[in-house]
Amino acid sequence: ELKVEQNPLFLSMQEGKNYTIYCNYSTTSDRLYWYRQDPGKSLESLFVLLSNGAVKQEGRLMASLDTKARLSTLHITAAVHDLSATYFCAVDILGTYKYIFGTGTRLKVLA
Amino acid sequence: GAVVSQHPSWVICKSGTSVKIECRSLDFQATTMFWYRQFPKQSLMLMATSNEGSKATYEQGVEKDKFLINHASLTLSTLTVTSAHPEDSSFYICSAEPGGRVGTYEQYFGPGTRLTVT
* pLDDT at position A74: 98
Look at residue A75 and tell me whether its pLDDT is greater than 60. yes
Enumerate residues 6+ apart whose C-beta is below 8 A from B91. B37, B38, B39, B40, B112, B113, B114, B115
Give tens-digit pLDDT for B40-56: 999 999 999 998 888 89
Q: B43 touching A, CB under 8 A? A: yes
Give tens-digit pLDDT for B52-82: 888 899 999 999 999 999 998 989 999 999 9
Euclidean distance between CA atoms B23 and B41, whole angstroms = 23
Q: Is the Cβ pair A50, B104 closer than 8 Å?
A: yes
**Which residue from A minimizes the CA distance to B51?**
A97
Q: Hey, of A7, A21, A99, which one would you mutate to test binding to chain B, going by the most B CBs within 10 A of its CB?
A: A99
Give tens-digit pLDDT for B86-109: 999 999 999 998 866 555 678 999
Q: Chain B: nearest CA to A97, how far in angstroms?
A: 7
Q: Is the Cβ pair B43, A104 closer than 8 Å?
A: yes
Beta bridge partners of B23: B6, B77
* pLDDT at position B104: 66
How far does CA A103 lie from the centroid of its chain?
Answer: 10
* pLDDT at position A95: 73
Look at residue A29 and tell me whether its pLDDT is greater than 90. no
Q: Which residues of chain A neighbour B45 with C-beta distances below 8 Å? A: 101
Average pLDDT over residues A76-88: 97
Enter the DSSP assignment of B86.
Answer: G
Enter the DSSP assignment of B65.
Answer: T
Averaged confidence pLDDT in chain A: 94
Residue A56: its H or E element: strand A55-58
Q: B89 touching A, CB under 8 A? A: no
Average pLDDT over residues A106-110: 96
Euclidean distance between CA atoms B107 and B48, whole angstroms = 14
Average pLDDT over residues A59-63: 98
* pLDDT at position B106: 85
Nearest to B43 among A33, A92, A101 (CB): A101
Q: How many residues does chain B have?
A: 118
Euclidean distance between CA atoms A35 and A89, whole angstroms = 6
Q: Of A111 and B63, which is predicted with more confidence?
A: B63
